Chains A and B, each alone.
Chain A
Amino acid sequence: MALLRVENLHKRYGHEEVLKGVTLTQEAGETKVVIGPSGTGKSTLLRCINRLTEPDQGQVWLEDLEITSRRSDINQIRAKIGFVFQDFNLFTHLTALDNVRLGLTKVRRMPRAAATDRAMAELDRVGLAAKAGAYPAQLSGGQQQRVSIARALAMDPKLILFDEPTSALDPELIGEVLSVMIQLARDGMTMIVVTHEMGFARSVADEIVFMEGGVVVEQGPPEQMFRSPQIPRTGEFLRKISELYGESS
């Protein structure tokens, strides 16, 4: 069974239909990179998956659990799906350690000592154990994003959704975040990553999904998408963003 299935997802904002029937399947351990022009509904898609935004129509399944069912406990499901935001959204009033620990103690109800050990281990995994006591404002953007990845990892997620995790970063800080993500992909984490980082897509994506106008235009393994896209528009877009963003990492 697929780890995640998105079926015919629709979302409308006022008169504008932002998602016009998106269908995706994601296997455990797979890394999917979602690309597409601005305003195409990539963020909306990610937010509909864990219902931070309520979709209008369609279903999302996490294994045999229907996320979109009104009967499912959405908080319990969200605890299983990590979300990494473009602008980090670390809790401003908490240290790095407490940011990572909050979900453990308040959602998973882990005893404090165990939660501290776990949180420290995750901070160590992203290379920031030494910054455990720092507040978000005392960290660089790259460090903040790594803490936010640790915060997601601590929950033992089945899947992590990344919404342009490096877009808010100065160019010299992008690498440190990407290398954490590359390591995660290699360790077998299941991830959906919205990004313009084509180097990352090429080296770790199992599949690239090209979205435009609220639909999936084309999807396939990076080799195929870069070398011989089936739809001309895909090749056009890939060339454009490779030029724009280069291929760091």
Chain B
Amino acid sequence: MNLSAWTEIAPHIPVLLRGILVNIELLLGLISLGLGVGVVTALVEVYGPRPLGWAAGAYTWFFRGVPEIVLLFLFYFGLSQFGVPVSAFFAAVLALGLRSSAYQAQIFRGALQSIPHGQMMAARALGLGRVKAIAYVILPQALRLSLAGWSNEFSSVLKDTTLAWGIGVVEVMRQASYIRARNFTLTLPIYITVALMFLVLTYVGNVAIGLAERRLRVPGLEGRR
């Protein structure tokens, strides 16, 4: 590898950036899906009726037990076989998002269970119904406690977005392989560039979460790191 390889890569940067933009879109889609489904799953596991709780348990067991790449194939090819044609992008958001929801559910469940029972009792004693008590007293505390675990999940799914390559999503890894196919001498510089892009994204993401954590911090309610 020589210096010329590095100058040659410059014109390809915009393409790589366009690729990583897709990763960011995947990330935003899957992490919000995972957040929504994860919170609901955790609430069902902790507060829902028994049978629903078991269903939620089976759900998280499935999505934590099957490799991501297998999930991607299952969703992409599986859905179209059931007559639901989906884009590779959508299938990736769905597969990775539901998988993330299972992990996020675990984080939220732990946090929910760590809130002392007295909080719920005091809320109910005031006349708040169960749903309001959860919404105004339990969840605000549980979500704060979850932030530390959640930032791990964020870094992990950010990197997982590259797996969408496997079902043909034109994200950064696929763009990289196109460039590389045309010019093999660029192989290493390209992947080093991609690695740097992810390092920057992870850094920026964690700084943002750290800021949120500091903003939301309440004395006496510390997340366990």
Contact = CB atoms under 8 A, between A and B. Distances in A.
Interface of A: 50, 52, 75-81, 83, 85, 87, 89-93, 102-103, 106-107, 135-138, 148, 151, 155
Chain B, interface size: which category?
Answer: 20 to 34
Contacts of A103: 126-128
B131 to A, nearest CB: 11
A92 B124 contact: no
7 closest pairs, A vs B, by CB?
A137-B220, A79-B127, A89-B122, A83-B125, A89-B118, A103-B126, A78-B127
Contacts of A90: 122
Contact of A91 (B129, B132, B137, B219): B137
Secondary structure at the B interface, as helix, strand, loop or mixed, is helix
Nearest to A148: B122
A89 B116 CA distance: 9
B100 interface: no
Nearest to B118: A89
Contacts of A106: 128, 132, 136
A183 B158 CA distance: 59
B218 interface: yes
A83 B127 CA distance: 11
A135 B122 contact: no
Given A136-B220, A137-B220, A138-B219, A76 B127 contact: yes
Most-contacted residue by chain A among B119, B122, B132, B137 (CB, 10 A): B122
B144 A155 contact: no
B179 interface: no
Contacts of B141: 91-93
A77 B129 CA distance: 12
Contacts of B119: 89, 91-92
Given A89-B121, A91-B119, A93-B141, A107 B126 contact: yes
Instruction: Name the residue among B116, B125, B136, B220 with the largest chain A CB count within 10 angstroms.
Output: B125
A192 to B, nearest CB: 14
B109 to A, nearest CB: 19
A77 B144 CA distance: 31
Interface string B94-108: 000000000000000
Nearest to B132: A106
Contacts of B121: 52, 85, 89
Interface string B128-164: 1100100011001100100000000000000000000
Contacts of B221: 92-93, 137
A91 B132 CA distance: 14
Contact of A52 (B116, B125, B140): B125
Contacts of A80: 127
Contacts of B136: 102, 106
